Amino acid sequence: MVASKRSKVFYFCLFLLPALALYATFFIFPLIQGVTYSFTDWNGIVPEIPLSMKKGEFEQEVLALLKSEKELANIQKYYRLDATGQFYQLQNWIEADTPGEGTVTRQLTDQERKEIKRILKKVGITPIKFIGLENFREMLKDRRFLPQRMKRYLFSEFDDLPLTFKAKDFQRKVLDHIDDEEDKAFLLSLYPYNQKEKVHELTTEEMSWETEDRLRLLLSDYYYDYRWERGVIGFTLFFTFYNVIGANLLALILALILDSKLRFRNVLRSMFFLPNVISLIIVAYVWSFMFRLIFPVLTGIAVWLGSPDLAPYATLMVAVWQGCGYLMVIYLAGLQTIPGELTEAAEVDGANWFQRLLHVRFPMLMPAFTICFFYSLANSLKTFDILWALNQGGPGYATTSIVIDIYKTAFMQNRYGYATAKAILLCVIIIILTSIQLSLMKKREVEL
């Protein structure tokens, strides 16, 4: 029997309305609330309604300014003097008349709290203040948030004196920073140029304390260079780019290997997918152990996670290893859906393995590429677990992604409004990048 149009509409609404309700509850409403808080100075601690106020302040700043008798009665109903007579306390429990039950004691309702908030706001008492775009302006000024060209001092007064300088380094990192010709001559007298070795060597003659102190002072002031610091945004983009490329490339290679007629391919498939099943925290702790005890023996590099230069690459290595297993399964499923007739026909036409891969299999894999790139791109921008468990964003800010920065800003600095502004920025970045990626890759998909 053919269902009537009315029944179709009924069942459509029956399934659609719960989905819309959940979507509004868990996405639309939090998003609107987040956008609202991003324009405030909320610290996450101070309640929206003051729990208590001094008697004098309350009477002068609230009661004296309210003109409406109804509002005055309401606020006095909710705020009452405590036993000491010095503070007005918010009454979380009030007595109210209920039809059929008489006078009962109940908690304040949300509607009553909103009314209190409205009345207090009317007289200028707002613990959460609207500050407009100030949070976003602060982001643009934050030297740790955006990539910056920063001065890096290479010597302190307590370091051992450098024995040699390369000629170019001595000129560029020391002499070019000094305007006083006398200071330049002093340094050149202590670091004469060795023509044979093409370096400036510290003279081996004994020097007085005064000479050494002056040398240390000059080097601590003028021995520096400039380098680009990635900052939070820079590291996030660096991590995202290389994690997406590395994880997808490794996953594709593993999928191509498993798509061949290997004897133990099912066992290998389980082994390659296993890191994706393990908790990210456990993965991070296992790799922390390896970076501390195993990698120094294998590579000769003593410090990995503690080095600002190596830590970003170490965390990237862990993320690629952990995330490639899931992507491998998607690529493998895509490879196994490609009709064998296509590759056989290409082989008959004389195409070698690489040509068949490039011109037959890759075009048919575009839907898998689209899914994997979208998944890895969105997850890389939101990565928290591995980065936090490995190094907590350190050393310094070397591995601090925008998600870790949001966490630190909100829960360590108690600046929820500023953290929410950063979260809104992250949301916009994810939407823009994933939209561009989907639009570009969807155009290249091939349908059978």
> What is the number of residues in the chain?
448
Give me the chain's average pLDDT, please: 87
Cβ 375 vs Cβ 325: under 8 Å: no
Per DSSP, 164 falls in state E
- Supply 1's token pair: 């029997």
- In this model, does residue 448 exceed pLDDT 60? no
pLDDT by residue (tens digit) across 256-271? 988 887 777 778 888 8
pLDDT by residue (tens digit) across 203-256? 866 778 888 888 889 999 999 888 888 889 999 999 999 999 999 999 999 999
What per-residue confidence (pLDDT) applies to 329?
Answer: 92
Confidence class of residue 441 from pLDDT cuts 50, 70 and 90? confident
**Helix/strand/coil (H, E, C) string of 211-246?**
HHHHHHHHHHHHCEEEEEECHHHHHHHHHHHHHHHH
- In this model, does residue 444 exceed pLDDT 50? yes
User: How many other CB atoms sit within 10 Å of the CB of residue 258?
Assistant: 19
Q: Which parts of 172-223 are beta strand (E)?
A: 193-194, 199-201
Establish whether the linkage from the previous residue to 312 is cis, with ω within 30° of 0.
no
- Supply 2's token pair: 């053919």
pLDDT by residue (tens digit) across 386-422? 899 998 988 888 899 999 999 999 999 889 999 999 9
pLDDT by residue (tens digit) across 129-149? 888 899 999 998 888 898 888
Question: Of all residues in the chain, what percent carry a pLDDT higher than 70?
Answer: 96
Q: Which parts of 154-236 are beta strand (E)?
A: 164-166, 193-194, 199-201, 224-229
Cβ 387 vs Cβ 315: under 8 Å: yes
Q: What Rg value do the Cα atoms of the chain yield, rounded?
A: 33
pLDDT by residue (tens digit) across 98-117? 666 667 778 888 888 888 88
What per-residue confidence (pLDDT) applies to 282?
Answer: 87
Determine the 3-state secondary structure of 11 from DSSP.
helix
DSSP bridge pairs for 200: 165, 193
pLDDT by residue (tens digit) across 27-79? 888 889 889 989 988 888 878 788 888 999 888 988 888 888 888 888 888 89
pLDDT by residue (tens digit) across 313-351? 999 999 999 999 999 999 999 888 888 888 778 878 788
- In this model, does residue 382 exceed pLDDT 80? yes
- In this model, does residue 154 exceed pLDDT 80? yes
What per-residue confidence (pLDDT) applies to 317?
Answer: 94
